[in-house]
Structure 1
Amino acid sequence: MQTKPDQSSQKASTSKAMEATAMLKADHQLISTLFKEYEKAETKAAKKKIVSQICLELSIHAQIEEEIFYPGVKAVLKDKTLIPEAIVEHATLKSLIAQVEGVEPDGEMFDAKIKVLDEYVTHHVKEEQEEMFPEAKASNLDMVALGEKMHARKQALLAEQA
């Protein structure tokens, strides 16, 4: 069950398109902030709302990476390890999302799934930002044009959710 993007997502997504890795880093920061908000949330309703936003943001982020960013990077870098590993990590993230999306936060097992999702996302983000992004930026890939395509796709995906 997908929910409508909240104002923070809409505000971030309607801003001017930016360089591809900067856009992805902004998404990473937003998602990290949402996980921190979850840790502070005290009610089931608050947790459910935050988890819904985390799932939406992660799903859209993964989709634009898989549709636009990863193919561009893979082609330019002739990569045979970073992109396949990232795609496998996305599959695991999607599995965890499916386990918590639209589910009532019902205690320690739910909280444990969110914690594992947070840790997994943190690991994935670290690899992207420390390994993939520097290589992509050092290549001849037009990061601004790629960012514009990603921004347009993100807008379309958010509009579908509205």
Structure 2
Amino acid sequence: MPTPAKASPSPARPAARSAARPARQPDAIAILREDHKKVAALFEQYEHARSASVKRRLVETICHELKVHTAIEEEVFYPAFKAALKDKELVPEARVEHASVKSLIEQVEGREPDGEDFDAKLKVMGEFVKHHVKEEQNEMFPKARKSRLDLVELGRLMAERKQQLMAH
């Protein structure tokens, strides 16, 4: 008697199953980490850029990305983190770091990338951002993961707000 052939799933079946199930929403930390990687790559590109037009485009992109990123942190992530962990240190320090970066953004955004002072401002901005990212990823994110924060819901709110801000 021949052995019955294994039933292979229909090719349409997995697609139908995944269509019925919404795509997994990235959590708040995944969204912030992705932003951190993107901005780090942009600063790296700026360092190697030689033409003024390439630098100008990179500066505008860096400034826009940082403004959106700081907004979603300040409007959504930090208040939730501060409340959940009764934080009186990490969030205030992060807001001060944001203020320094915002000041540098104001000094370079919409201006021609001309000369050493302009490049120095981008270099310092990149260093501030790198320091800030390191603190978030090494201190804030592990505490957020251990807390009772609903990081998926927070991620949903952040993604929604980010989408609104990116449109402008």
Which residue in the other structure is 2:118 paired with? 110
Instruction: Tell me the number of residue pairs that the alignment of Structure 1 and Structure 2 aligns.
Output: 146
> Is 2:92 the counterpart of 1:99?
no
Q: Quick one: distance in 1 between partners of 2:54 and 2:116?
A: 16
Q: 2:78 aligns with which of 70, 73, 95?
A: 70
Corresponding residue of 2:30:
22
Q: What secondary structure, in the 3-state scheme, does the structure 1 residue paired with 2:50 have?
A: coil
Structure 2 match to 1:35: 43
1:153 to 152, 158, 161: 161
Task: Give the TM-score of the pair, scaled to structure 1.
Answer: 0.88
Percent identity of equivalent pairs: 57
Determine whether 1:61 maps to 2:76: no
Q: How many angstroms apart in 2 are the aligned matches of 1:16 and 1:37? A: 31
| Structure 1 residue 16: Cα displacement | 6.6
Q: Which has the higher helix share?
A: 1
Query: For the residues of structure 1 that align with 2:29 and 2:141, how far apart are their CA atoms?
Result: 6
**1:47-90 C-alpha deviation (Å, 9 max, x unpaired):** 00000000000000000000000000000000000000000111
Separation of aligned partners in 2, 1:91 and 1:16: 33
Residue of structure 2 in register with 1:124 after alignment: 132
Cα separation, 2, equivalents of 1:109 and 1:59: 22
Structure 2 alignment gaps of length 5 or more: 1-22
Inter-partner Cα distance in structure 1 for 2:118 and 2:95: 25
Higher RCO (Cα < 8 Å, 6 or more apart): 1
TM-score by length of 2: 0.85
Which entry has the higher C-alpha Rg, 1 or 2? 2
Over aligned residue pairs, what C-alpha RMSD do you find? 1.1
Structure 1 stretches of 4+ moved >4 Å = none
Partners of 1:158 and 1:124 lie apart in 2 by 22
